Amino acid sequence: MLCPIDFSAISVRAYRHALSMAEHYQAKLVVLHIVEEWRHPSADFAGSAADLNEFYRQLLETGRWRLQEFVKNHTHEEIQPELVVKKGTAPDLILSSAQARNIDVIVMGAHGHRGLDRLLLGSTTDRVMRTASSPVIVIPPLDSMAVGDDLHSIRRLKRVLLCADFSENSAWALDYAISVAAEYDAELTLLHVLEQSSNGNSIEDATTRAMERLDKLLPPKVERLTGKVKTAVRVGKPYRELIQYALEESPDLVVMGVRGRGALDLAVFGSTTYRVMQLACCPVLIVYARPLDQGNEMSIATNQAPPVIPLNLLTL
């Protein structure tokens, strides 16, 4: 697992979630801090190349010391993470580090900005979410868990919510949701949101058909989830209904499957996934469906290769 740290309050929460999952799965946790040059404009006044190198050397040393203190102050489990400090651009180094180390899951915080401020968030969290080859767990700014809460409350996931739109994207995410729910012996809810339709079908009929489709999504044999699977259908704007349902039912994890990369997909990402990620009261696991041209990581619709379940989770 990879957890980028910038020493903010939300990165404390992200670290605690990553630490909890790493302890539960006995996984290796890599904690990454990045010294970004643009945050230190005084470097432009260095008198020589030697002075500039010394300036950055001191920044890296300070970063290593702060990261060591951060981990010492917030680690109370058996897991001892690997500490990495690098200099460069945060999104690039997060993505390259994840790829180089074959990271299964990235855990990071979002800062909850909107409008123009979203561009600042987009430079790191947003870009990582859109382009990472591995699933990303985003800790939203409204995460209900306070920093001082018991770490065990994170580990004991009781409810997992899957946002199902019957696309290939949510089908891929379903395997992750099932695996996590089975691993934690948690309740799994499949939620579909119907938008107001103008095709003449009544909401009652559409809801009935949606419930039937939700019931058919689960594999025939999910023994460890027997009696712990629920289905629900809401009507309205998807992101609003997803957030409202999460507020009412208090899931510990929301799972969303997205396709991402194209212009239209980015627009959809911004209107639904991004808003859920910012406004949800619990962590959001974002899973990208794999396109057909990525080696043996075939689309789930082809039935040629199963999705890669992170952290050695239960493979169904």
* pLDDT tens figures, 81-97: 999 999 888 889 999 99
pTM of the entire predicted model: 0.80
Residue 286 tokens read as 């974002």
Indicate the pLDDT class of residue 10, thresholds 50, 70 and 90: confident
Query: What's the average model confidence in pLDDT over 220-228?
Result: 65
Cα→Cα distances 130→20, 43, 82, Å: 25, 31, 25
Cα→Cα distances 259→100, 133, 140, 292, 298, Å: 23, 12, 21, 12, 13
Query: What's the average model confidence in pLDDT over 104-114?
Result: 76
| Whether pLDDT at 130 is above 90 | no
Residue 51 tokens read as 């002075």
Query: What's the confidence (pLDDT) of residue 64?
Result: 92
Cα→Cα distances 8→4, 92, 119, 163, Å: 11, 20, 18, 29
Report pLDDT digits (tens) over 165-208.
887 778 888 989 998 998 888 999 999 998 876 455 688 888 89
* Rounded Cα–Cα distance for residues 31 and 63 (Å): 12
* Rounded Cα–Cα distance for residues 292 and 114 (Å): 34
* Rounded Cα–Cα distance for residues 305 and 213 (Å): 23
Indicate the pLDDT class of residue 57, thresholds 50, 70 and 90: confident
Query: What's the confidence (pLDDT) of residue 221?
Result: 60
